Amino acid sequence: MTLSFQTIALVGKYQSPDVAEAVLRIADFLRERAHTVWIEQGTASSIGMVGGFRVATYDEIGVGADLALVLGGDGTMLNTARRLAEHEVPMIGVNQGRLGFLTDVGRDNAIECLSEMLSGRYVEERRSMLAAEVLRGGARMFQTLALNDVVVNKGDIGRMIEFDLSINDEFVYTQRSDGMIVSTPTGSTAYALSANGPILHPNVGGIALVPLCPHALTARPVTLPDDCRIDISLLPPHDARVHFDGQTRFDARAGDCVRITRAPHCVRLLHPQGYSYFAMLREKLHWSAVPRLP
């Protein structure tokens, strides 16, 4: 079913001159098409002048917007996805960054592409998220969502940490390593890929566990069903740092438990018509690239 996009919110990469120009250009384009245009509060502050457009918080966008246009790189998309997740506002990513795994509308043809998509020619995709919490003595100390991954690592210390891994209350192993990446299919092409984790198609209902430099060479990446509950319990005397999409972090103490499950919310991404996940991988991972000459 084709969605109707009357109220459209624009979210831009923070303090980026290039994105500021693009935000105002697209805002004018949308207003000419008789859309109601909102500009996210932090984006508006960064731009300075918003040309009479309404400034809105993430909460207001979640409740009242029909669509969010995200201008920036994957980092901007990750942050916006976490902020709007519970509202399941559909999002379109306009790539103003580098790789752009999640932002697949090119900056050079953005107006033309958006015109097609706003006319109903798009492909909708739902991406799973992770819900994570840090427990201390049974009490919740921190909780958040992640679209890419939750990473438990050694932080600033120069030695390995040690932790127990349990799945659905069943003990799996004790591991000594630099840490563990717990990744969604979306995040499988991010940090987890660099650590030799598997690439998971977005339609796969799985969560990847990817050890970081494990002391035991037999500790390999494992893909779990996404209805599992994953507990990573830090063993004394090891503290650790927990990262969420590489943007939010929490300093955990020895004895803390990092608990991870699939989130109840999904991220709704809209792609241009003809979008192909495998074509995206070929481009971003240079699978068919011609070798560079010396």
H/E element holding 278? helix 277-284
What is the Cα–Cα distance from 155 to 51, expressed in whole angstroms?
44
Amino acid at 50: V
Cα-Cα-Cα-Cα dihedral sign, residues 106, 108, 110, 115:
negative
- Cα–Cα nearest to 126, from 99, 88, 100, 84: 88
> In sequence order, which residues have a C-beta less than 8 Å from that of residue 198 and are 6 or more positions away?
188, 192, 208, 221, 223
Element (H, E) at 223: strand 222-225
Sequence-separated (6 or more) residues with CB below 8 Å from residue 289 = none
29 Rama class: left (phi>0) / alpha (psi -120 to 50) / beta:
alpha
Bridge pairing between strands 206-212 and 240-244: unpaired
Task: From the candidates 66, 74, 169, 251, give the one annotated as an active-site residue.
Answer: 74
Angle (CA) 213-216-218 rounded to 5° is 100
The amino acid that residue 64 corresponds to is G
- Does residue 184 contact residue 78 with C-beta atoms inside 8 Å? no
Active site residue 226: no
Catalytic site positions: 74
